[in-house]
Structure 1
Amino acid sequence: MIQHLDVDGVPTLLAPTGGPMHAGLTFRVGTADETLARSGITHLIEHLALAPLGLADYHVNGATAPAFTTFHTQGSEADIAAFLTTVCGHLSDLPVARLDVEKEILRTEWSSRGSAAVDDIPLWRYGARDFGLSSYPEWGLSAFTADDLRQWVARWFTRENAVLWIAGDRVPTGLRLALPSGVRQPVPVASSALPTTPAYFVSGARAVVLDSVVRRTTAASTFAGVLERELYRSLRQDAGLSYTTTTGYEPRGDGYATLRALADALAEKQDAVLGGFIDVLAKMRVGRIEQADLDATIAKREDLLATTEVDAARLPGYALNLLTGQPNLTLDEYRAELKAVSIADLHDVAGEVMASALLMVPGGHTADWAGFTAAPTHSADTVDGPTYRAREGAGGIRLGVDGVTYLQTDGPLTVRYADCAAMLAWPDGARQLIGADAIVLHIEPTMLGLPPGTIQAIDAGVPADRHVTMPARSADQIPQPKPIERQPEPARRSWWEVPVMVLSGLGTLLMGGVFLLLTIGMFVAEEGSEDDTWFWGVIVVGWVLTVILALPIVLLMRRRR
């Protein structure tokens, strides 16, 4: 049974465990509460709170998620009391002497992070805001000051915005949670970058991934388990197309949950995996769901509910519900809801899944043939203003009083200043504007014929709190237009060339005409005297002279070319 307690004004949950004592302090704040231009502040504070602890002899960890930040530890009662007391002390008095060090550590962490198939899904669904920010780097790190961090702590890392949970038989002796007072913060409202669903986008990953948003219900979480069984049977067991077929169900904190499914694929089998994946979704959408799969999923969950550690295992999720105002069911209530889930309920969930579906397909493939609409990769409109062409290729940039449009052959990219989530600014003048809808517009002054003052006008148009200063680029990182190939200069022409060509032409015509008539006369004349041989010799010599007279014309014309 989970007990409700209070420690220093922080709501506290306590449940028994047969293993080592472990505990967590969870705050209702995460990346979704930030902005793109100032992203990373929650993660930075989490690092600063843990950094002075050094290398502990027991397990300690921190995690920043879209809507929550948790400090977790496992060890003895004394270890847990010391850890949580120290973390709260650091939050109240941040060790800002380590600020620059921790910034560099976070940059290194991001640069070394491996890419996962699902990393880009949030930005495609939500855009460059709230729940979509987990797809982006922490660009705000360089700008944060100690005062920025203290203000963030005062708003978010408070007693009223936290829940402590402990898996153990009692609250550790000596535990103190010295946190500032504040208010409980609501979960941010989720945005959308998708004009319509179901939708799809193309990725370079060798996997098919489904992302959907459904109402948070027991039937929806059960559907995830049933879908996983169907994908495994269809794509791995029967067809041998995939190795990994998995699903996930994650409450968002606002009454909805993200439901995902993934199937990997070899390059030569991507068509088959995509087709088989969509067939499974279509099958469940029309209600063709096996009762045996539902029974097996329910039985597996009932087995987990029967373990002695069930209450301790529920503590993290229970704490999140408490922070967000979502209902917490008793074990008996959850068992009753689980047993009541029917095929009809799963059919309804399948309808929700397909209605909100965002499908990630491998490169070179589409899903429009299955009723999915391509997610937008270009803007639907452009700004009004003068247009400046690119120095190479087609396209150019159009500058308006309220934004910028980059014109491309395959469609425009428009970011209006009011909707700009962040503008990355390089010292050499390059700018990258990222719209709230995740449209990215890159401006390289070296590649555009822009009038003086253009970059300054763009900087003035974008609100100052959305500017992100980027490190200087080396010369070879700045694109340059290809040099124009110079045409060889024409040869100089002398004054005497034309007269020589005229005289040569006249002489050739005159002599060639005379000897042409003589040649014709010899062919039509009757056979005559022995003097014919002499005449033929004269004609041959005449034609040789004609050719010699024509040579100046040929040589001078070649010289001119």
Structure 2
Amino acid sequence: MIQHLETDGVPTLLAPTGGPMRAGLTFRVGTADETLARHGITHLLEHLVLAPLGTADYHFNGATGPVFTTFHMQGSAADIATFLTSVCANLTDLPTGRLEVEKDILRTEWSSRGGAAIDDIPLWRHGARDHGLSSYPEWGLSGLTAEELRRWAARWFTRENAVLWIAGDRVPEGLRLNLPTGVRQPVPTASSALPTTPAYFVHGSRAVVLDAVVRRRAAATVYAEVLERELFRALRQDAGLSYTINTGYEPRGDGHAHLRALADALAEKQDAVVGGFIDVLAKLRFGRIEQSDLDAAVAKRVDMYATAEFDAARLPAYAFNLLTGEPNHTIDEHLAELKTVTVTDLREVAQEAYASALLMVPDGTSADWAGFTAAPTSSESTVSGTTYHSRDGNSRLLVGTEGVSHLGTGGTVTVAYADCAAMLAWPDGARQLIGHDAIVLHIEPTLFDTHPATMQVIDSGVPVDRQIRMPPRDPEHIPQPRAVRETRQHPGQPKRPAWETLLMVLSGLATLVVGGFTLLLTIGMFISPTAEEDVAVLWGAVVIGWLLTVILALPIVLLTRGRRR
């Protein structure tokens, strides 16, 4: 049974365990509370707090999720007291001496992490804000200052916004949670970048992924298990199309949860996996659910609740509920609710999941045939402003006082300054505007007939706190018009205009004809006897011939030397 206590004004949860003592201090703050322009501030603060403790002998760590941040460790009671006391001390007096070092560590962490199939799901559903930020790099790190971090800590890392949980028999002696006073922070409202659902988007991953938003309840957890069983049976056992099949259920603290399912596919089997996956969703939505599958799913969860360590294992989730205002139930209450779940309840969850579904499908496939709408990749509106044509003539850029639009073969992309989540700015003049709807507009001045004042209009339109300064790029990585690219690919051999080529050809032919005739005449003067009265005339012809040859060859010489310069 979980006990409710209090430690230095912080709500405390205590549950018995048969193993080593472990504890965590959880705060109601995460990436969903940030903005894209300052994305990474919570993660950076977590690293700074733990950095001075790096030489400790006990095991500890931190974790930053969408709506919570936890500092946790496993060890003796004395070690736990020392660790958590130090965490609180560092939160109130933030050790910023390693600020730049920890920024570099976080950049390295992001660059070396492997991409998962579901990483892009949040931005497609939520856009470039709140719950969608977990899909984006931590671009905000470079501009964060020590003062910003202190303000962030003072707002979010307070005793009213924290819960302490301990798997053990007591609160460790000597533990002090000296945190500032604050308020309990509500969970941010989840935004949506989808005009309608069910929707789908195409991704390069060889997997089909479902993301659905359902009400948080026991029937939804059981449905996740039944869905996995059905997908496994249909796609792996019966059709042999997939190897990895799994589902997940993740509460987000606002009375709803994300329900996800994944099935991988070979390149040549992707269409079949998409079709089989959607068929399973339809089967469950129409209520074709076996009672045996329901019973097996319930039994699996009942067994989990029956373990002696269950109360200790669910302490982090219990603390999450306490912080977000979600109800916490006893084990008996959980079991009673599970045993009331019926096939009708699962059908209701299946319909709810379908209505909110976002489906990720592999390249070359689609789901519109099954009633899914393609998630938007372009904008419906354009701004009024000055038009700039691309140097290749294939697109236009509209720069106005309200925003920027790009009109090209792929459609229209518009980002209004008021709806710009962040703007990446490079020293060479390139700009990338990211809208709250996750629409991205990239501007390369080298590819358009713009002038410096154009970028000044854009820079003055986007609020300063949403602008992110990027490091200089390698000149070779800056896009160039086609003619410049060809010059770089063939240094010293630039492409000639057509008139130069024609003139050189004509000059060469004329030089060859006149020069050849003059050469034959010169040789003849030396080997054939010539009347004395004709000698002067013939030598005059030879001199004129050679002069004319030189004149005719001049265009070739001058044009060649000019191109070399």
Asked if TM exceeds 0.5, the reply is yes
> 2:313 aligned with 1:302, yes or no?
no
Residue of structure 1 in register with 2:324 after alignment: 324
The CA deviation string for residues 58-116 of structure 1, in whole angstroms up to 9 with x for no partner, is 22110100000011111111111111111111111111001011000000000101100
Where in structure 2 are the equivalents of 1:206-217 lying within 5 Å? Answer: 206-217=206-217
Letter in 2 for 1:208: V
Where in structure 2 are the equivalents of 1:335-484 lying within 5 Å? Answer: 335-483=335-483
Residue of structure 2 in register with 1:195 after alignment: 195
Letter in 1 for 2:234: S
Q: How many Å separate the matches in 2 of 1:166 and 1:6?
A: 12
SS at 1:160 equivalent: helix
Residue 488 of structure 1: how far off its partner (Å): 3.4
Q: How many Å separate the matches in 1 of 2:45 and 2:253?
A: 22
Residue of structure 2 in register with 1:60 after alignment: 60
Residue of structure 2 in register with 1:45 after alignment: 45
Residue of structure 1 in register with 2:8 after alignment: 8
The CA deviation string for residues 334-378 of structure 1, in whole angstroms up to 9 with x for no partner, is 111000000000000001100000000000100000110000000
Deviates more, 1:362-371 or 1:390-399: 390-399
The CA deviation string for residues 139-180 of structure 1, in whole angstroms up to 9 with x for no partner, is 110111111000000000000000000000000111111111
Residue of structure 1 in register with 2:540 after alignment: none
> 2:498 aligned with 1:487, yes or no?
yes
Where in structure 2 are the equivalents of 1:225-304 lying within 5 Å? Answer: 225-304=225-304
TM-score of the pair, normalised by structure 1: 0.87
Residue of structure 2 in register with 1:139 after alignment: 139
Q: How many Å separate the matches in 2 of 1:57 and 1:267?
A: 48
Residue of structure 1 in register with 2:221 after alignment: 221
The CA deviation string for residues 470-511 of structure 1, in whole angstroms up to 9 with x for no partner, is 0011211111112274223354999xx9xxxxxxxxxxxxxx
Where do 5+ consecutive residues of structure 1 fail to align?
A: 498-561
Letter in 1 for 2:382: T
Letter in 2 for 1:6: E
Deviates more, 1:265-274 or 1:416-425: 265-274
TM-score of the pair, normalised by structure 2: 0.86
Q: How many Å separate the matches in 1 of 2:503 and 2:283?
A: 77
Letter in 2 for 1:488: W
Q: How many Å separate the matches in 1 of 2:100 and 2:133?
A: 23
Letter in 2 for 1:33: D
> 2:303 aligned with 1:312, yes or no?
no
Provide the identity percentage. 73
Residue of structure 1 in register with 2:152 after alignment: 152
The CA deviation string for residues 383-411 of structure 1, in whole angstroms up to 9 with x for no partner, is 11221110024112011210000111121
Q: How many Å separate the matches in 2 of 1:343 and 1:482?
A: 62
Residue of structure 1 in register with 2:180 after alignment: 180
SS at 1:483 equivalent: helix
Q: How many Å separate the matches in 1 of 2:321 and 2:503?
A: 86
Contact 2:210 2:360 in 1 (8 A): yes
SS at 1:90 equivalent: helix
Residue 452 of structure 1: how far off its partner (Å): 3.8
Residue 310 of structure 1: how far off its partner (Å): 1.1
Residue of structure 2 in register with 1:123 after alignment: 123
SS at 1:424 equivalent: strand
Residue of structure 1 in register with 2:545 after alignment: none
Residue of structure 2 in register with 1:503 after alignment: none
- Stretches of 4+ aligned residues off by more than 6 angstroms: none
SS at 1:105 equivalent: helix
Letter in 2 for 1:360: M
SS at 1:412 equivalent: strand
Residue 286 of structure 1: how far off its partner (Å): 0.2
Q: How many Å separate the matches in 2 of 1:228 and 1:171?
A: 40
Residue 272 of structure 1: how far off its partner (Å): 1.2
Letter in 2 for 1:403: G
Q: How many Å separate the matches in 1 of 2:393 and 2:364?
A: 25
> 2:23 aligned with 1:20, yes or no?
no
The CA deviation string for residues 188-230 of structure 1, in whole angstroms up to 9 with x for no partner, is 0000000000000000001000000001111111110111111
Residue 451 of structure 1: how far off its partner (Å): 3.4
Letter in 1 for 2:368: D
Letter in 1 for 2:52: P
Where in structure 2 are the equivalents of 1:485-524 lying within 5 Å? Answer: 485=495, 486-489=497-500, 490-491=502-503
Q: How many Å separate the matches in 2 of 1:10 and 1:288?
A: 48
Deviates more, 1:26-35 or 1:303-312: 303-312
Q: How many Å separate the matches in 1 of 2:205 and 2:135?
A: 15
Deviates more, 1:472-481 or 1:98-107: 472-481
Q: How many Å separate the matches in 2 of 1:199 and 1:491?
A: 61
Q: How many Å separate the matches in 2 of 1:387 and 1:321?
A: 53
Residue of structure 1 in register with 2:95 after alignment: 95
Residue of structure 2 in register with 1:69 after alignment: 69
Residue of structure 1 in register with 2:105 after alignment: 105
Deviates more, 1:267-276 or 1:180-189: 267-276
Where in structure 2 are the equivalents of 1:80-91 lying within 5 Å? Answer: 80-91=80-91
Q: How many Å separate the matches in 1 of 2:61 and 2:248?
A: 23
Letter in 2 for 1:487: A
Equivalences, count:
495
The CA deviation string for residues 239-275 of structure 1, in whole angstroms up to 9 with x for no partner, is 1111111000000000000000000111111111111
Where do 5+ consecutive residues of structure 2 fail to align?
A: 485-494, 511-565
The CA deviation string for residues 416-457 of structure 1, in whole angstroms up to 9 with x for no partner, is 000000000001100000000000000000110013400011
RMSD value over aligned CA atoms?
Answer: 1.3
Contact 2:401 2:457 in 1 (8 A): no
Report which of the two structures shows the higher radius of gyration computed on alpha carbons: 1
Residue of structure 1 in register with 2:161 after alignment: 161
Q: How many Å separate the matches in 1 of 2:439 and 2:218?
A: 36
SS at 1:201 equivalent: strand
Letter in 2 for 1:142: S
SS at 1:488 equivalent: helix
Q: How many Å separate the matches in 1 of 2:150 and 2:440?
A: 32
Contact 2:31 2:65 in 1 (8 A): yes
Cα 1:446/1:382, change in 2 over 3 Å: same
Q: How many Å separate the matches in 1 of 2:453 and 2:181?
A: 48
Q: How many Å separate the matches in 1 of 2:167 and 2:343?
A: 36
SS at 2:42 equivalent: helix
Q: How many Å separate the matches in 1 of 2:40 and 2:20?
A: 33
Residue 57 of structure 1: how far off its partner (Å): 2.2
